[in-house]
Amino acid sequence: MKKASTVFTLIEQRPHYYRGQLLLEDDFLAEQNYHVNARLRHNLHLHGWGVVHGLKVSRASRNSIDITPGFAVDATGNEIFVSESQHLTITGFEPNELVTIGLTYRKTADSSDNEDDRPRNLQNRYALLSASRSSEKGEGLTLARIELDDDGGISEDKIDCSRTRYLKRLASGAITRDELHPELRKGWVRLPFRPHALVNLPENETEMLPAFRVGATESMSLAPKEMGERDRGAAGTMAIPIPPNSTQVTRLRIAGSRNEGEIRLELLKGGWDPVGKKHVRVKILEETIKSTSDKKWFEKTFSIDDTILDSEYNTLCLWLRGTRRTAVSIVAVEFAY
């Protein structure tokens, strides 16, 4: 029987201290580098890179700009913090030239002495703001591009920030749908009831039904006196918009201020079958809401089991009939991702 093979790949090393060990500067530097590299990987692979907030470029004068305080992460994961507004003079360029305003992370070593004359080495970090020709390969983040005028000056309407990269809170692909809590993979689409009148005789109906009177926030059947003293109710159908990337419809909710007979409803999945090249019409919910003697209003929520939606080809619509005086305020559908 063959044994399963095992492969070890070295990720990195970090200092492992023990009692009585002689520590030199390389040991401390190795420990610092371990934590610095971990922070860089965290920034870059979990969050991405770009401007987090601030760092807006605006015209200060004909040959200078202002940059607001802000925070950014560069393409290698370094954090760049600009604590105060900065003023940058734009000189040395030709008229009509295209200038790039960049932000770069820099570090340098600086040696100074403390009050006891003992050397202390500090490694300083800088946020470097610069202006360079856009034709040249620049470093760091692009905050803006400026097209100079005929005299080599700066106009407010020629400051272009469309190329600025902004950091997303999570890098693309860092968290997929499956990692989200189930409650975060659901959402309600809420709509006023805005039905269209029927043009064909519905199934199991013997006469064409009156249309709803549609108001701004509520739709209601006609009063009996408007129908020759006969309460015939009303019927109609409306489309339900499906949010992008939704793959399932899970619940339907409907509520209104009046139901004096019965409300019959059907939720229908429609669309197109790209394989069979045919129209789709599937009834995924059929319910009846009966009136009660103690109240005229109604509110019902219905669960819909295992209803899969094709994100490219399926549609959704509601058919509803109130057999007597009916008023509907809201139609809501819960979708899952």
Q: Over the stretch 263-276, which tens digit does the pLDDT of each residue have?
A: 999 999 999 999 99
Measure the CA dihedral 8/14/16/17, to 10°.
180
Is 141 found in the same domain as 198?
no
| pLDDT of 309 over the 80 cut | yes
Residue 48 lies inside a defined structural domain of this protein: yes
Q: How many domains does the chain have?
A: 2
Is 239 found in the same domain as 156?
no
Residue 224 lies inside a defined structural domain of this protein: yes
Residue 9 lies inside a defined structural domain of this protein: no
**104 in Cβ contact with 74 (< 8 Å):** yes
Is 321 found in the same domain as 188?
yes
Is 320 found in the same domain as 192?
yes
Is 188 found in the same domain as 150?
no
Is 188 found in the same domain as 155?
no
Band the pLDDT of 113: cuts 50, 70, 90.
Answer: very low
CATH code (residue 254): 2.60.120
Is 151 found in the same domain as 267?
no
- Single residue among 111, 128, 160 that ends a domain in this structure: 160
Look at residue 36 in the predicted model and tell me its pLDDT.
92
Mean pLDDT of 13-34: 91
Q: Which percentage of the chain shows pLDDT scores above 90?
A: 65
| pLDDT of 2 over the 70 cut | no
Is 127 found in the same domain as 55?
yes
Residue 204 lies inside a defined structural domain of this protein: yes
Please tell me the least confidently modeled range out of 4-13, 238-247, 315-324: 4-13
Residue 14 lies inside a defined structural domain of this protein: no
| pLDDT of 174 over the 80 cut | no
**215 in Cβ contact with 256 (< 8 Å):** no
Q: Over the stretch 37-93, which tens digit does the pLDDT of each residue have?
A: 999 999 988 888 999 999 999 999 999 999 999 999 999 999 999 999 999 999 999
Measure the CA dihedral 79/64/133/167, to 10°.
30
Is 189 found in the same domain as 95?
no
- What residues make up the domain containing 115? 25-160
Q: Who wins on pLDDT, 183 or 324? A: 324
**139 in Cβ contact with 120 (< 8 Å):** no
Band the pLDDT of 116: cuts 50, 70, 90.
Answer: low
Cα separation, 91 vs 152, in Å, equals 9
Q: Over the stretch 194-232, which tens digit does the pLDDT of each residue have?
A: 999 987 766 777 777 889 999 999 999 988 777 777 788
Look at residue 24 in the predicted model and tell me its pLDDT.
93
Is 116 found in the same domain as 190?
no
